[in-house]
Structure 1
Amino acid sequence: MTAMRRFEAHGILITGAARGIGAATARRLAQEGAHVLVTDVDLGEAEKTASSIRELGGSAEAFICDVADRTSVEAAVAHAVHAFGSLDVLVNNAYGCTPDAPLFEDEPDEVWARDLDLTLTGAYRCSRAALAHLVASGRGAIVNIGSVNGLQDFGNHAYSAAKAGLMSLTRTLAGHAAERGVRVNLVAPGTVRTTAWEGREADLEALRELYPLGRVGEPDDIAAAVAFLASRDAAWITGTTLCVDGGLLSVNARFRRENRQDSGV
């Protein structure tokens, strides 16, 4: 079957794209015809991802981008526009997530500030730098990568607050950008098997039982949702949060199993 080519000649910038969800998204969008700028603070790993895309016949470049630095963000956006001729899609994927202190009152200010800066303010910086170019493209779209943590308590105070803030920014920016022809949406993943879980396979296996669809997510699951929201297939969708979570937020799988056992069903 021939792959869809919904992003033929589109210029796309993805942050935090060296690994995991960002890398999978870069591969998916390049497969559909996009020119992808793979940005990350780890330029070496970003180049590996870009190189793997080119080996498969796709169009990709690597570029260093620290979303905590306005100059770095603006340089990445300018490079994408120069290299590809336009910037049509921005995917805000970079984030920070620091493990919680055992007691909330022991959380350092620096941890809170860093996670919010990378996860929420970083997306703000990138969107601000990109917006005029997305307007000029005539088909601009922003897809933010959120989390179920922004909707329900799964721990990580700063990260969760930042992801909830990113959902709010998605709505307010969607309202602002709609009359300028730019759509803004958010994908909220559940647990996804990325390099962040390396060495913790037993934890992933335990989490699998909490998901109604019987497994944790894969980066390609999220990439597929991003591709939909970034494409013209979602031309009448803006300001929305799309949960890609295996049913986690809608069904309490463990409770249902236990209730069946207790009731003899």
Structure 2
Amino acid sequence: MTDHTRFAGHAVLVTGAGRGIGAAVARRLAEEGGRVLVSDRDLPEAERTASGLRQLGLTAEALACDVADRTSVEAAVAHTVAAFGPLDVLVNCAAHCTPDVPLFEDDPDEAWARDLDITLTGVHRCCRAALPHLVASGRGAIVSIGSVNGLQDCGNHAYSAAKAGLASLTRTLAGHAAARGCRVNLVVPGTVRTSAWEGRDDDLDALRPLYPLGRVGEPEDIAAAVAFLASRDAAWITGTTLVVDGGLTAVNTGFHTAVRHP
């Protein structure tokens, strides 16, 4: 059962919240009492998410935010503080993934740089802008969204490298921020049914047997993990990577299938 009080009075900033995991996170934290700034580079998507939350009687505003731009990030943090008071929670969901070219040696510099700039450096920008406010709140928490791509080969060189980098940034920032009263953690999803998979139900069905729990993830699965790590229930957890992947990286289903006997 959802605790409707865990984030009561908390000011929350969620990046990449226009749809998918980010939108589910914004809804979960708002349902638990948070006052949420729904930020996204796509303002109409952010407004649609925020409007839907307000229709449920929840507190949410929308703002355009491009995590690749320092001024935009700082404006989003300032807007959250002005609208809702001291910032308590930052959730970094914004990311960018460029499909790989057939040959690695043909990979263009621009694609590599863009994926890292949004997926990894974008989180750095957001944490840098938010940290003084999170410290000042006295109960600050940062949760970023990683990927199993950062743990094993799932393709997408630049995106995977950026997601792997988030695990390191989480640890180093957690060490820096702990004495200042702010916790920093990472959630690592497996395959999640989002708009990125729209029209690819056959692919999702093909992936299902790889997951020991028998299904791919839903955005709400990830939102639940984020809510836990951002809440007082995780008050003694920082610098951790929580893998939420239905058992994908823990169990070698291909091996088990290969050696199974009648």
Supply the distance in 2 between the matched residues of 1:223 and 1:97 (Cα, whole angstroms). 21
Q: Percent identity?
A: 77
Supply the distance in 1 between the matched residues of 2:223 and 2:76 (Cα, whole angstroms). 21
Supply the distance in 2 between the matched residues of 1:255 and 1:224 (Cα, whole angstroms). 30
Paired residue for 2:206? 206
Paired residue for 1:31? 31
Q: CA deviation at 1:195?
A: 0.2
Q: Is the 8 A contact 1:88 1:141 kept in 2?
A: yes
2:99 paired with 1:103? no
* Alignment length (residue pairs): 262
Deviations 1:63-120 (A, max 9, x none): 0000000000000000000000110000011001000010000000000000000000
Query: What does 1:171-250 correspond to in 2, within 5 Å?
Result: 171-250=171-250
Supply the distance in 2 between the matched residues of 1:241 and 1:46 (Cα, whole angstroms). 27
Output the TM-score relative to the length of structure 2: 0.98
Query: What does 1:1-20 correspond to in 2, within 5 Å?
Result: 3-20=3-20
Deviations 1:14-73 (A, max 9, x none): 000000000000000000000000000111110010011011111000000000000000
2:42 paired with 1:42? yes
Q: Which runs of 5+ in 1 are unaligned?
A: none
Q: Is the 8 A contact 1:43 1:62 kept in 2?
A: yes
Q: CA deviation at 1:5?
A: 1.5
3-state SS in 2 of match to 1:243: strand
Output the TM-score relative to the length of structure 1: 0.97
2:165 paired with 1:165? yes
Q: Is the 8 A contact 2:46 2:62 kept in 1?
A: yes
RMSD between aligned residues: 0.9
Instruction: Letter of the 1:121 partner, please give it.
Output: T
Supply the distance in 1 between the matched residues of 2:210 and 2:174 (Cα, whole angstroms). 33
Instruction: Letter of the 1:49 partner, please give it.
Output: T
Q: Is the 8 A contact 1:209 1:254 kept in 2?
A: no
Supply the distance in 1 between the matched residues of 2:119 and 2:142 (Cα, whole angstroms). 15
Q: Which runs of 5+ in 2 are unaligned?
A: none
Instruction: Letter of the 1:34 partner, please give it.
Output: G
3-state SS in 1 of match to 2:99: coil
3-state SS in 2 of match to 1:250: coil
Supply the distance in 1 between the matched residues of 2:245 and 2:28 (Cα, whole angstroms). 19
Supply the distance in 2 between the matched residues of 1:51 and 1:165 (Cα, whole angstroms). 34
Assess, with a 3 A threshold, how the Cα gap between structure 1 residues 2 and 204 changes in structure 2: closer, same or farther.
closer
3-state SS in 2 of match to 1:166: helix
Q: Is the 8 A contact 1:145 1:186 kept in 2?
A: yes
Instruction: Letter of the 1:164 partner, please give it.
Output: A
Query: What does 1:61-72 correspond to in 2, within 5 Å?
Result: 61-72=61-72
Instruction: Letter of the 2:175 partner, please give it.
Output: G
Supply the distance in 1 between the matched residues of 2:257 and 2:228 (Cα, whole angstroms). 33
3-state SS in 2 of match to 1:88: strand
